[in-house]
Amino acid sequence: GAGVSQSPSNKVTEKGKDVELRCDPISGHTALYWYRQSLGQGLEFLIYFQGNSAPDKSGLPSDRFSAERTGGSVSTLTIQRTQQEDSAVYLCASSLGLAGGPMLNEQFFGPGTRLTVL
């Protein structure tokens, strides 16, 4: 079975441009997460989607960052007017969600998108 996939695997952009990063979660997973991994840093939580509930956006670092999840499946993370400090690996994860309960709510991670802002 397919795991979590992300595209593109690498993205190089110029400062000030907008970028979109895509995540395809595991089929049947109702929960989806975005994380950021900056050089030498741990993973930083960005946003969490659970079914049709309002997303937890508490980790988004600024209003230049936004994310959507259409139809409860694919998600897009958009960064507007990119800055050099946005350079990082952006990781997506999915899990069974609340139906699995916290004990079974293992997050499965995609390979990430490496974003470089010049």
Partner 1 sequence: GNSVTQMEGPVTLSEEAFLTINCTYTATGYPSLFWYVQYPGEGLQLLLKATKADDKGSNKGFEATYRKETTSFHLEKGSVQVSDSAVYFCALRPMDSSYKLIFGSGTRLLVRP
Q: Which residues within the stretch 48-67 sit at the binding site for partner 1 (CB under 8 A)? A: 48, 50, 56
Q: Min. distance of Cβ 109 from partner 1 in angstroms?
A: 4
Does 12 engage in binding with partner 1 (CB under 8 A)?
Answer: no
Binder among 78, 106, 116, 118 for partner 1 (CB under 8 A): 106
Beta strands in 1-118 (DSSP E): 5-7, 10-13, 19-24, 31-37, 43-50, 65-69, 75-79, 88-95, 108-109, 113-117
**Which of the stretches 15-23, 27-35, 66-74, 79-87 binds partner 1 when contact is defined by CB under 8 A?**
27-35
In the block, residue with structure tokens 């952009």: 13
Compute CA distances 52 → 19, 21, 46, 62, 97, whole Å.
Answer: 25, 21, 18, 23, 12
Residues in contact with partner 1 by the rule CB under 8 A? 3-4, 31, 33, 35, 40-45, 48, 50, 56, 91, 93, 95, 98, 101-103, 105-112
